[in-house]
Amino acid sequence: MKKILVTGGAGYIGSHTVVELAQAGYEPIIIDNFSNSEESALGGIQAILGREVPCHRIDCGDAEALRQVFKTEGDIAGVIHFAAFKAVGESVQKPLAYFHNNVGSLITLLQVMKEEGVENLVFSSSCTVYGVPDHLPVTEATPTKPANSPYGRTKQMCEDIVHDAAGAPDNKVHTILLRYFNPIGAHESAKIGELPLGVPNNLVPFITQTAAGLREKLTIFGNDYDTPDGTNVRDYIHVVDLAKAHIVAVQRLLDRKASEAVETFNVGTGHGNSVLEVVATFEEASGQKLNYVIGPRRPGDVPAIYADATKSAEVLGFKTTTSLRDSLASAWKWQQTLSK
Ligand code: WQD
């Protein structure tokens, strides 16, 4: 089986991708420093797969430790790099930690991959690189705009670093950049899912925690935007659909199907939903009335963004299959499991 290193493999998207990799016949190897994930995710993965997935507890920024993993594991066919901090608001408070971790770990990884002769990389990028787009939906050719946060800037910098590294004469690494939209939901088994530390920044875990009685109410950050119902519009993609996009990307790299050393794909549903639509859909899916109020806008929020998913469909052959309703139902099932 082809060995795939998954950095941040114990995290929300990482753990779901590890499950899909194993079930697609690959041999995933996890690297995680558990700075933003929990060991319980390893147990959840094992419960789903019926076997343990090896995990190296190291920081991707530690070149020597990373080198040792590559040497210990031997024939690594490719790397999926999730390991990064990802809270927009937190990045404004701790910009240096975000640049050091998100940009530093990518540079270290690329250096070690070059030394060890590993030539395939899938990189976790984000729709944040588009900033506030002039037109919707956004395609991969939509110009990136100044990011709204240090987090977004780290993703833009990482994309530039991948492109520049690929342009070096001695480069051998082929990369696929996946620009995620808004991942939500959990594996149908409810054995893995989103584990926000502290008060959730993201909408869906805040909704499920409110419905579970852990939060008093949801505050909707503004309803006076230039959108159909005044609330922000996003492209909410089920986390298992997102995980499956990584399997397709890995196989494309291994098959050397790409014409260029770096390819970029939007990974979203291609549909936009407003915050109020998400709330209404959650109430229908869960049978739970949600307590919410309208509050002030959140600085840095983009009024509306959703993907043109045509390139992923036509070039990757990837399409999402999970509806917003089913995604929210899976998030609610996971929350109920956590509450037990
Ligand atoms: C979604 C919508 C909020 C919480 C971020 C990153 C992005 C990606 C996903 C990593 C917005 C509204 C939220 C709340 C609310 N992460 N909201 N009340 O900001 O679209 O994207 O997470 O890749 O890169 O930027 O996600 O879930 O925080 O917000 O009204 O309590 O929900 O205003 O419109 P966001 P989010």
pLDDT in tens, 99-155: 999 999 999 999 999 999 999 999 999 999 999 999 999 999 999 998 888 999 999
At 40, the pLDDT band (50, 70, 90 cuts) reads very high
pTM listed for this prediction: 0.97
Q: How far is the CA of 202 from the centre of ligand 1 (A)?
A: 5
Determine the atom of ligand 1 nearest the C-alpha atom of 231. Answer: 34
CB of 206 closer than 6 angstroms to any ligand 1 atom? yes
Q: Can you say whether residue 117 is alpha, beta or left, with left for phi > 0 and alpha for psi between -120 and 50 degrees?
A: left
Min mean pLDDT across 41-45, 84-88, 251-255, 285-289 is at 84-88
At 252, the pLDDT band (50, 70, 90 cuts) reads very high
Rg over CA atoms, the chain = 19
CB of 277 closer than 6 angstroms to any ligand 1 atom? no
At 181, the pLDDT band (50, 70, 90 cuts) reads very high
- Asked if the model's pLDDT at residue 32 lies above 90, the reply is yes
Q: Give bridge partners of residue 79 from the DSSP assignment.
A: 5, 121
pLDDT score at 340? 80
For residue 84, give the 3-state DSSP assignment: coil
Largest CA distance in the chain: 59
- When the candidates are 1.20.1050.140, 3.90.25.10, 3.10.580.10, 3.40.1350.10, the CATH number that belongs to 203-234+270-335 is 3.90.25.10
What is each CA distance from 214 to 7, 217, 277, 290, 339, in whole angstroms?
Answer: 31, 9, 22, 12, 9
Q: How far is the CA of 284 from the centre of ligand 1 (A)?
A: 21
If one counts every other C-beta atom within 10 angstroms of the C-beta of residue 169, the result is 4
pLDDT score at 89? 80
CA atoms of 118 and 129, how far apart (whole Å): 27
At 90, the pLDDT band (50, 70, 90 cuts) reads confident
Q: Ligand 1 atom 12: the closest Cα is on which residue?
A: 203
Superfamily grouping for domain 3-184+237-267: NAD(P)-binding Rossmann-like Domain (3.40.50.720)
Contacts of 162 (CB under 8 A, 6+ apart): 106, 110, 121, 123, 175, 177, 262
pLDDT tens, position by position, 271-312: 999 999 999 999 999 999 999 999 999 987 899 999 999 999
CB of 215 closer than 6 angstroms to any ligand 1 atom? no
pLDDT score at 15? 98
CB of 86 closer than 6 angstroms to any ligand 1 atom? yes
Cβ neighbourhood burial of 167 (10 Å; 0-12, 13-18, 19+):
exposed
Mean pLDDT of all residues belonging to the chain: 96
pLDDT score at 205? 97
pLDDT score at 299? 81
At 20, the pLDDT band (50, 70, 90 cuts) reads very high
pLDDT tens, position by position, 193-247: 999 888 998 999 999 999 999 999 999 999 999 999 999 999 999 999 999 999 9
Q: Ligand 1 atom 19: the closest Cα is on which residue?
A: 301
pLDDT score at 1? 86
Q: Ligand 1 atom 1: the closest Cα is on which residue?
A: 203
pLDDT score at 259? 80
Averaged pLDDT, 264-271: 98
- Boundaries of every domain in the chain: 3-184+237-267, 203-234+270-335
Q: Is 292 a catalytic residue?
A: no
Averaged pLDDT, 52-58: 98
Averaged pLDDT, 81-110: 94
CB of 180 closer than 6 angstroms to any ligand 1 atom? yes
